[in-house]
Structure 1
């Protein structure tokens, strides 16, 4: 019996590569991660039995995609796809085409860069601007984002439907949509995960096929390491809403 988690292969749709000696970090980064090389990731990937992966551009590199192109090449473009970070005001279709040729199949919105992490109106504007930059160029590309305010989802929902979904862009959110397991629920939820702010909006988007949720980064939404048992009910509710809209990422 195989000891690998994925003996028949599988996709890891959220991992990073950081090689700062080879590609220096953006001086305006909000985070300085430790090195995480392509060799070490390939060892990790092999240990689980994974066959394919999606390399998510580290925000510490800003909107410079040169490292992403190099890393996807090192990992093997026949088994690796990439998610880039762009500047929606300056990125031109020719640059998007070059990214596509290099195995890039989506973008990640850097909410931090626009000072929008804690500002709902700025988040709306930032998501809409990135959607416009992709619109009409590559059908099927995805657009991913992470934010720390689940209570924003109710007001983001109509903007997502109007400005993103209507353009044929696949919207993805990381790390359980930052919805919490029982161990991190606010007291007013009284242990009921469905009562947390943003839950119904996320569930509605998932049910309609308008939002993909990554099952990743459990340490962000639960204190019950290492197995994070309190996230099982959350995953079950999302799965029952629409199993086609859930993705798994190691967050390596």
Structure 2
């Protein structure tokens, strides 16, 4: 298994593939991150002015424990963050379209996620849910599809589970078979160190879309990065997507070399297979200023000559079947 360190990733970024990229990379300003205060109204307005019309936040959660009790197996507790809260947060950035992703703390009970999706409507909303493929009927999947559900999430990382090759392959085949007739996404949250397992699994799944959450989420961010080479190999396939999301889970500084190198390497490899998300409300994290990460997204796209509209609008529309 080939391992990549931050130094090697940076050398890949700052190599000289074209004079244009080299010049742009050199102009990315350094700015220390501060989480002591929230973003100013001025900074929010400045960012909102750059966000294209039709932008999708492709990964956010709705949680409302008083109305929709958490699973008895929930690994953590969280205060309410309702669909109204989500809309208020995103509207400040000029975003009205969102993909609600089922959080691990609700297990297979999708009531809160579906309630939020119904409130959004199919024009502005999509959802990624969890369900038991052995017991869920085609009729139930069709009902969810008509509401705007476009994916199922297999979440190992949030619950502290370590995927094994045989069981992971069996799960992915089972869920790919279930969602294939609907054109849904199989969304996968595992550590980057486990991504090599996918190299022999994904090619056997046919054309079912696979989306890897949160940059592939390395578990160790200050060590070598096993799995990065597998991620770049997988991105050569047309059905693999990556969410440029939750960078703060890698490091609290969005300009940390690891965050910069991962984001730009992925963007350069398959700009047509990257989508962006806020990961609101940032469960199990504090003082996250999303505007800092949005600014870095603008920098990454500029440095790699990728149109913002591709990442924020077009790719999301394709991945979640949301073309107008």
- Return the alpha-carbon distance in structure 1 between the equivalents of residues 87 and 145 of structure 2: 23
Which structure is higher in RCO with an 8 Å CA cutoff and minimum separation 6?
A: 2
More displaced 10-residue stretch of structure 1: 44-53 or 224-233: 224-233
1:184 Cα deviation from its structure 2 partner:
2.1
Instruction: Structure 1: state its 5+ residue gaps.
Output: 190-195
The equivalent residue for 2:135 is: 90
How high is the TM-score relative to the length of structure 2? 0.67
The equivalent residue for 1:154 is: 196
The equivalent residue for 2:264 is: 236
Contact 2:179 2:185 in 1 (8 A): no
Do the aligned partners of residues 161 and 239 (structure 1) sit closer, same or farther apart at CA in structure 2, a change above 3 Å counting? Answer: same
Instruction: Tell me whether 1:169 sits opposite 2:212 in the alignment.
Output: no
Alpha-carbon RMSD across the aligned residues, in angstroms, is 2.4
- Return the alpha-carbon distance in structure 2 between the equivalents of residues 233 and 113 of structure 1: 24
Contact 1:30 1:112 in 2 (8 A): no
- Return the alpha-carbon distance in structure 2 between the equivalents of residues 211 and 169 of structure 1: 9
Instruction: Tell me whether 1:201 sits opposite 2:230 in the alignment.
Output: yes
3-state SS in 2 of match to 1:240:
helix
Instruction: Tell me whether 1:53 sits opposite 2:82 in the alignment.
Output: no
The equivalent residue for 1:144 is: 187
Instruction: Structure 2: state its 5+ residue gaps.
Output: 1-41, 281-324
Match of 1:218 among 236, 239, 247: 247
Contact 2:195 2:216 in 1 (8 A): no
Instruction: Tell me whether 1:108 sits opposite 2:153 in the alignment.
Output: yes
Match of 2:274 among 222, 246, 251: 246
More displaced 10-residue stretch of structure 1: 238-247 or 201-210: 201-210
- Return the alpha-carbon distance in structure 2 between the equivalents of residues 77 and 228 of structure 1: 37
- Return the alpha-carbon distance in structure 1 between the equivalents of residues 73 and 213 of structure 2: 22
Larger Rg: 2
Aligned residues: 235
3-state SS in 2 of match to 1:184:
coil
Contact 1:83 1:105 in 2 (8 A): yes
Contact 1:9 1:49 in 2 (8 A): no
Do the aligned partners of residues 50 and 225 (structure 1) sit closer, same or farther apart at CA in structure 2, a change above 3 Å counting? Answer: same
